[in-house]
Amino acid sequence: MSFPTFQSIHSLDPESARAAQTTEEKNRVPTFDMYTATIRSLVSQLSGGTLTSTQIVTTYLYQIQRWNGKLKALISVAPRDQVMRLANERDEQRRQGQVIGVLHGIPVVVKDNIATDVELGMPTTAGSYALLIGKANLTELASYKSLQAQDGWSAVGGQTINVYNPKSSPGNSSAGSGVAVAAGFCPASVATETGQHHFTSTHGSIVLPALQSALYALKPTVGLISRAGVVPLATYFDTPGPMAKCVWDLAVMMDVMCAVDAEDPTSKPFRESTEKAFEQAIARMSSSGARIIDPADIPSAVNGSLWKCAEGARSLVVNAGFKEDMGRYLRGLGGEGGVKSVDDLIKFNEKHADIEMPPDNPGQDVLLRTLHAVPTTSAAYKEAVQEMRQVARERGLDAVFERDEVDVLFSIGDGGRHSLANMVGYPMGVIPLGVSPDGTPFGAIFVGRKYGERTLLGVMSAWEQAFGERPLPPMAAV
For the question of residue 173 being annotated catalytic, the response is yes
Residue of 174, 205, 267, 461 marked catalytic? 205
Cα 131 to Cα 52, 114, 157, 167, 188: the distances in Å are 13, 15, 22, 32, 11
Nearest to 419 by CA among 174, 172, 175, 199: 199
CB neighbour list of residue 48: distance below 8 Å, 6 or more residues apart: none
For the question of residue 111 being annotated catalytic, the response is yes
Nearest to 400 by CA among 384, 382, 416: 416
Cα 379 to Cα 71, 178, 384: the distances in Å are 46, 39, 9
Cα 312–chain centre separation: 26
For the question of residue 340 being annotated catalytic, the response is no
Q: What is the Cα–Cα distance from 424 to 369, expressed in whole angstroms? A: 23
Residue of 173, 213, 267, 419 marked catalytic? 173
Residue of 111, 135, 323, 450 marked catalytic? 111
Catalytic residues: 111, 173, 205
